[in-house]
Amino acid sequence: MPAELRFGIIGCGEIAVQTCAGISAAPNATVAMLMDPRPEVLADLAEFYGVPTTTQAEEVFSNPDIDAVYIATPHDLHAPLGIQAARAGKHVLVEKPIATNLKDADTLIETCRATGVKLGVAYLAQVDAGAAQARDYIHAGLLGDLIAVRMTALAHKPDYYWQGGYTRRVATTWRQSKARAGGGILIMNLVHDLNTVRWVTGLEVQRVYAEYDTLATPVEVEDTLGAVLRYTNGAIGVIQAGSAMPGGAHKDARGPRIYGTKGQIILGDPPLIYRTEAPEGSAPNTWSELRYSGPKGDRAEMIRRFAEAVLNGQEPPATGEDGRKALEIIVAAYRSGEMGRPVELPLET
Enumerate binding residues for ligand NAD (CB under 6 A).
Answer: 10-16, 35-38, 41, 57, 72-75, 77, 95-96, 165, 169-170, 172, 188
C-beta nearest to ligand NAD: residue: 13
Alpha helices in 254-343, H assignment, sequence order: 299-311, 320-339
CB of 97 to ligand NAD, least distance (A): 7
Residue 304 and residue 310 in contact, taking contact as beta carbons nearer than 8 Å: no
Q: What is the spatial distance between Cα 241 and Cα 246, in angstroms, rounded to a whole number? A: 13
Minimum separation from the CB atom of position 345 to ligand NAD (A):
23
- Nearer CB in complex with ligand NAD: 193/292: 193
Shorter beta-carbon distance to ligand NAD: residue 75 or 275: 75
- Evaluate whether 114 touches 121 at the Cβ level (below 8 Å): no
Do the beta carbons of residue 177 and residue 162 sit within 8 Å?
Answer: no
Cα 53 from Cα 206, distance rounded (Å) = 45
Angle at CA of residue 268, ends 263 and 272, nearest 5°: 35
CA separation for the pair 30, 34 (Å, rounded): 11
As measured in angstroms, the least distance from the Cβ of 117 to ligand NAD is: 19
For ligand NAD, the closer CB: 76 or 211: 76
Smallest distance from the beta carbon of 59 to ligand NAD, in angstroms? Answer: 11
Report, in Å, the least distance between residue 344 CB and ligand NAD. 27
Q: 182 or 256: whose CB is closer to ligand NAD?
A: 182
Q: What is the 3-state secondary structure (H, E, C) of 41-70?
A: HCHHHHHHHCCCEECCHHHHHCCCCCCEEE
Closer of 12 and 127 to ligand NAD (Cβ): 12
Q: Is 169 or 262 the residue whose CB approaches ligand NAD more closely? A: 169
Whole-number minimum distance, CB 216 to ligand NAD, in Å?
21
Amino acid at 312: N
